Structures are given as structure tokens and as C-alpha cells.
Structure 1
């Protein structure tokens, strides 16, 4: 019987793959197009809407019947980076270990039905990692500058939340440090916020509301405002009993000021050279996928399968919406929410063993967390030696106004005003 921690890691990884595989067949369709073609996608057996095209017209790829995309494969690559390093990560690990995973590690690519490198499969903003770091030799922390701003880092960043389980602030900081080698602006911010959501989801007794609170305490600028606006609407829509079509319409209307993408998600020759606000750095913008994943989770009271299905049936970047919802709610609920049939199909269709991968990663993450705990205890002893007493006792320091100030227990951070950020660890 796995520990609760290992069980949640399993569920998170299976949730990622499930959301990815459910959403992949309808990616880039609008919600209306999905309803017209499929009614509602609820099964991994859904046929890809491009499957009847000639192979060249679908980039010689296949989807459906449980096949995952680069979202899941990039997540597994990040897990391997943690296995290689055995520690917390920063942009230098993006420039080294992650580049090796992308460009120099052959693996089975399910959509291509052959062995290749991830670099052969990923979208251009992820190819950017190789170009910027290995080919251009940039400062690792500047790797994300100039990239197409999108959800590409957030889609695979969930493992950072695992190694910082129960510490959303630390997860946010590490995700920002690592993903700065890949993304910038609100694309980078989304990665930090998603990692924080995963870390909070591991807190025993947590619910989707506490995940939202942790997210809003850390998120900045347009990302925070988009999530807050979606959350407010989600709670009202839940109370009113609105149907899926009404929820999707309301969410998309809310996101319109934050994302210029809309339903027009296909790149084509006629768009070359056109001026656009899409995918450019901005403090006022946000990706769509993370606010939508959180919004559907709130509408459904944190229900795992219903949230994923609502998310992937909302159209546009359906696989990444499913990935983020599955990651957060899998970590929140544990492996009981994933059916054995889905687990088996995902493994068979993609030639991997997600349970074994999750167990190996959980062991690596637990080792990192034990090391963190040792460091915290040593730091506490050193600080107590400096203050000549336990840190939980009042100090004799005075505030600028002359009043005595007590020193808080560093394991119990004070509440944060909305939008502010703490740098303290709760470990």
C-alpha cells in the first residue's frame, strides 16, 4: 500500500495523462464545434477530429484512444531531471539537464508512433529551449526572453509542486527560477502559479477553495486578476446551476480582456506579418488554460472527472486545460479518483508505466523534502542560538514605533494580503 504522498503523486501523474489524452482529440476546436461533432467527449476512445485527413495534413500524427501529447511527455522529462539532479532546480538545470531530455534522449513518441527525441515533437516555443541554451548559449536566466508567451511552461511544471509539497510559496519560487529558462511574462507567471496550486493540493485536508486562496496569495498582475475574475464567476455559476454551455460562454467572455487568442487558435499563412497582441509579454495579460482549469474545478466543487471533462469540452487548448485540471485535482484527491481501466489504457497506448514512474519520482521528491527538513531544523537551531531562546518566544526587539515585537514560529507563516508574496518556507 503506497503512502498518502505516493498515492497523490500517482494520481497527479495519471490526472495529467488523462486530461491530456481526453483533450487531445478535440484540441483547437471551439466549444460549439465540439458539441456539433461529438456532443460531449467523456471517453478516451474519442476519435481525433483530424484523423481522416491525409497523413501530411496532420503532420503524420495520430491521436485518440488514450494517446498523450507533449504535455505529458514534457512532464515525464522534468521528472527525469529531478531524478538526475536529486535536488531543487533553477534555470541552469533548464539549460543542461532539460536540454538533454529534449534534444538528446530518444523516447517513444505516441503521436508519431516511433522513437524520436522530444525536440522532434514539441511546438516551437519548446524548441526554443534548445535554440536559446545550447545553440545560442544564453545566460540561463534569460532563456525565456523573446519566446512566444503561452502555457508551454505551465503545462509540464507540476513536478515542481510535488518536491515542494505543502509549501506553495517555495513551489512558486522554484518554478519561476527554473522556467525562466523557457518562458517570460505571464507565461512564466502561470508556471509559478500552477506549481503553487499543486503544492497546496498536497496539504492534508485541503480543498479546491484553499488551493484558490494559495494561488491568489502568490499570483501577480493579469494572471491574478484573470483567476480572481474567473473564480468569482465560477462560484456564482455554481450557485445558479448554470449548464456547461453557459459556463463556457461566461468564462470566455471574462478571459477576453486577458487573452487575445479567442477561438482563432490556428496559425496560417495569411497571418504572417500581421500585428497582434497575442503571445506577447504583458503585465496585464494571462494564459487561458490555468484560469479555466481552476474555474471548472470551482464550478464542480473540486470533482475530478467532471472538472476534466468540462474543461476539455470548452474548446481551444483542450489538452492543456485537461492537464492542469487533472494535475491539481489528482494531487488533491489521490489515486482513488483514477479508474483502473483508464490507467491501463494510458499505459498501453503510450508504452509507459505511469505508476512506476510516479513511485520513482515520489521517492526522489521525498528525499529532497527530507533534506529540506534537515536544513530547516539546522537553521532553526542557529537562529535560536542567535536569539538566545526559542524562536516562538517573544523577542526584545522593538518596532519603529517602540512597541515590543514577537518573533513568529517560522513554521506558521502569517496570513498574506491578497497579491503579496512571502519568501518563508513552511517546512
Structure 2
């Protein structure tokens, strides 16, 4: 069985690989993906790299390595100022809608949780950076969810928090060797049973055996323009992971070919499957394409590699494997 360190490396490298694979398909429909590339089976960009998903995951990993279980909202807010809000912005200008809203509020002097009061507090911006909490709290899904919620208090609310908690808890369970069914159960256990996130996740997993078209149909709200809805993106990611029964390649490619917020859904599916199988399950050519972050979104993250973050978060958590 994979060691905790290898699972940690699998989770965060898997996130970065999924992000890079999914980026060209972001906001596309499956029909548009097929028209351009047929079925995506590998990188379709000439120079693949991670997007805001990878750089914000590095941000959360560095924040967590600094504070550990003592993480508090004030520390998260201070990190947003130190590494993002009070610096020159990269070409991507701070990433998605939830990040823009958060940055504008922080720069106006608002503090958490008021800083999270913007139009996109329900986005998948926390979910995309939540995997490090699962790596840190390996085998402790409730603790992973608690820490993710603290991180999210600066930028998200409601369903946006729940989506991040589900991802963090799922990764934490996978890090301890739980099988995919138990990973899904761990994610559902930390969010309200009647939440949009939980309902979407249950629907996605229930039809996962029928493949990606069924998963997409069960989750996506037809005609809704925003693809960064946390309940949708998280459900698509878990649906892809369940459809693949935890297999890394299949999970990531299923997420990519469903389109919508494909970089985030593939990043989350990659984190779950990478934690389940370990770094060795990631195809070598995919892994080799992932270099240090370029700082395109967050200049302060430039030069940091996801494997560095995985190693920062995992050594003190070496422990016996939990039987599956």
C-alpha cells in the first residue's frame, strides 16, 4: 500500500495534473470538446500548466504549513493580505469571481466573515484549494473539514464552504486508504444532509456507474451560465472519481471531458484519486509536465512546486495505514 507521503504527493500532484489537463476545456460543453479534440486523452495545450486552482492550493498549503491545527480566520486574512491583496497582481488578476470579490472587500478594509459577502460566495474557489487540508489531516476528515472552513471564512459562505469541506474530508479519508465508497461517505458526513452540495453529490454518485453523461445530466443545471458553482463542480468531481472507482487516469479524464469548470473538477478528481492510489498512479508524462508554479495568478506563489507542499504537509503525519 502507498505510504502517507506517497499519497500526499499523489493528491497534490494529481490536483495540478487535473488542473492543467482541464484548463483548455474550461467552460466548454462536451459537444464542443468533441468538435475540437474528439475525446481528450492527454494534454491538448502545447505548454500545459496549472491555473489559479494550483496556485491557490499552494497558497493554502503554505498557510497550513505555517499554522497547522492552530489556523484561525485572522491568520487566513493576514495571509491573503501578505501574499495576494497587498501585492502587484499577476496577469490573471487574482483568479475567479469569488477571489475578485474577496480581494475587493479586503482592500476596502473589511475583515472575515464580512470579506466573504460578495455575489460568488457559493463558488468552487474554496473547493479548488481544499485538498491540502485533507493531506494535512490524513485519516481525520472532520478535522480537515474544520480547517477548510476556517480558510474559507475569508472568501466563501454557505454552499461555497460546504464544497470545500467535502473535498477536504474526502481527501483526508483517501489519504488513510479508504476505498472510494468510504471517501464519498466521508465527504457527505461533514456537510448538511439537506444542502445543495450534499444533494448534488448524492445524485452524481448514484448514477456514476452509468458514466460521465449520466453524471453530468444528474448535476448540471441546463442553461445556467456560471460554471463555478461549488455544488455542481464538487458533485461532478466526485462523480468522475466514483465512475472511475478511484482510478487516477480515468477519474481525471472523465472530469475533463464533462466540460463546465473542467480545470477545477479535474483538479478535485485528481486530488481524490491521487490520494487514493498514490503518486505512482499518475502517468509519468503527465507528472513530468508539472513544473513550479509560474505565478500567473498569484505572483507570490511563483517557484513553489506542489510536491514541495505535499512534503511540507505530510512528514509529521506518517502513520499506520487504515485498512480498506
Say yes or no: TM over 0.5.
yes
Equivalent-residue separation in structure 2 for 1:294 and 1:333 (angstroms): 15
Secondary structure of the corresponding residue to residue 143 of structure 1? helix
In structure 2, the partner of 1:170 is: 143
Counterpart contact for 2:29–2:258, Cα < 8 Å: yes
Is 1:35 equivalent to 2:34 in the alignment? yes
In structure 2, the partner of 1:233 is: 207
Match of 1:133 among 82, 106, 111: 106
Q: With CA pairs under 8 Å and 6+ residues apart, which has the higher RCO, 1 or 2?
A: 2
Kindly provide the CA deviation profile for residues 324-383 of structure 1, in whole angstroms up to 9, marking residues without a partner as x: 0001111111111123322222117856543333223324xx2xx59xxxxxxxxxxxxx
Q: Unaligned 5+ residue runs, structure 2?
A: 295-302, 319-324
Kindly provide the CA deviation profile for residues 148-195 of structure 1, in whole angstroms up to 9, marking residues without a partner as x: 121111111111112211111111122112202111121111011111
In structure 1, the partner of 2:171 is: 198
Map residues 251-330 of structure 1 onto 2, 5 A cutoff.
251-256=215-220, 259=221, 262=224, 264-265=225-226, 287-330=231-274
Counterpart contact for 1:81–1:98, Cα < 8 Å: no
In structure 2, the partner of 1:181 is: 154
Secondary structure of the corresponding residue to residue 288 of structure 1? helix
202 and 105 in structure 1: CA distance in 2 versus 1, 3 angstrom threshold: farther
Map residues 397-412 of structure 1 onto 2, 5 A cutoff.
none
Match of 2:310 among 358, 361, 373: 358
Match of 1:146 among 113, 118, 134: 118
128 and 88 in structure 1: CA distance in 2 versus 1, 3 angstrom threshold: farther
In structure 1, the partner of 2:185 is: 213
Query: Aligned-pair distance for 1:134?
Result: 4.1
Equivalent-residue separation in structure 1 for 2:125 and 2:292 (angstroms): 26
Equivalent-residue separation in structure 2 for 1:203 and 1:197 (angstroms): 10
Counterpart contact for 1:79–1:361, Cα < 8 Å: yes
Counterpart contact for 1:103–1:118, Cα < 8 Å: no
Counterpart contact for 2:188–2:198, Cα < 8 Å: yes
Equivalent-residue separation in structure 2 for 1:229 and 1:168 (angstroms): 21
Equivalent-residue separation in structure 2 for 1:34 and 1:105 (angstroms): 36
Counterpart contact for 1:304–1:326, Cα < 8 Å: yes
Q: Unaligned 5+ residue runs, structure 1?
A: 48-63, 107-115, 238-243, 267-277, 280-285, 371-427
Kindly provide the CA deviation profile for residues 191-222 of structure 1, in whole angstroms up to 9, marking residues without a partner as x: 11111111111113x11111011122222212
Is 1:159 equivalent to 2:103 in the alignment? no
Secondary structure of the corresponding residue to residue 154 of structure 2? coil
Secondary structure of the corresponding residue to residue 24 of structure 1? helix
Equivalent-residue separation in structure 1 for 2:280 and 2:168 (angstroms): 22
Query: Aligned-pair distance for 1:224?
Result: 1.0
85 and 173 in structure 1: CA distance in 2 versus 1, 3 angstrom threshold: closer
Is 1:336 equivalent to 2:280 in the alignment? yes
Q: How many correspondences in the alignment? A: 306
Query: Aligned-pair distance for 1:43?
Result: 1.6
Q: Say what the alpha-carbon RMSD is for the aligned residues.
A: 2.5
